[in-house]
A = this chain, B = another copy of it.
């Protein structure tokens, strides 16, 4: 990077000369003084800026090119990635909280978890703010999980089309780590239809069914006509 041979800023002689001329100097010396001061000052400024850039490079992983401009670009991309991450985590926290509010029985586990995360949510909102409740839940109009043959589950899902509805549906199915044979999403006239064929062993079918139902229901808007 900024390590071309000329960069050896170790002149170390101007420091020795600084303050050598006092106020009783002739004009030539005075002007030299002024320009010299400016020079060393500028040197320090450049040095500081390069150090900062170096430090920036240090905190950003995966620097593509050691180029100055590229370092900044990579930093920008990285920050935006982190932003997206945070957005996802926050929506997940909201999902967890909504799941808690749906539950009524009080095991210690249910109570502790959101408490731990609530402070986190505050911090995230405070940090990343972007005013207005950004997170939109989905509105489930119909959800069916049926058995088809011996080892296949069919998930049929209808939602009203809101912002990020399709994103959230895809995310929840990704997160379930289930064996999806084929999946299909179709959006038209304010509705989102999703059909997923899932491979399931005989013994885990029932559990898987409940798992899918609860995961999707956790996304559900409390004001939705569906209540699970």
Contacts and interface: CB of A to CB of B under 8 A. Distances in A.
A89 B55 CA distance: 25
A184 B181 contact: no
Nearest to A132: B62
A120 B52 contact: no
Nearest to A55: B76
A117 interface: yes
A61 B129 contact: yes
Given A120-B88, A182-B186, A108 B75 contact: no
A102 to B, nearest CB: 10
A20 interface: no
Interface stretch (A3-11, A23-31, A208-216): A208-216
Interface residues of A, number: 80
Contacts of A174: 119, 163-164, 166-167
A106 to B, nearest CB: 10
A75 B56 contact: yes
Interface stretch (A34-42, A66-74, A138-146, A149-157): A66-74
Contacts of A173: 166
B79 A177 contact: no
A111 B59 CA distance: 36
A85 B83 contact: no
Interface string A89-110: 1001001100100010001111
Nearest to A45: B69
Contacts of A78: 79, 134
Interface of A: 45, 48-49, 52-53, 55-56, 59-62, 68-69, 72-73, 75-76, 78-83, 85-86, 88-89, 92, 95-96, 99, 103, 107-113, 115-120, 123-124, 127-131, 133-135, 163-164, 166-167, 170-171, 173-177, 180-188, 207, 210-211, 214-215
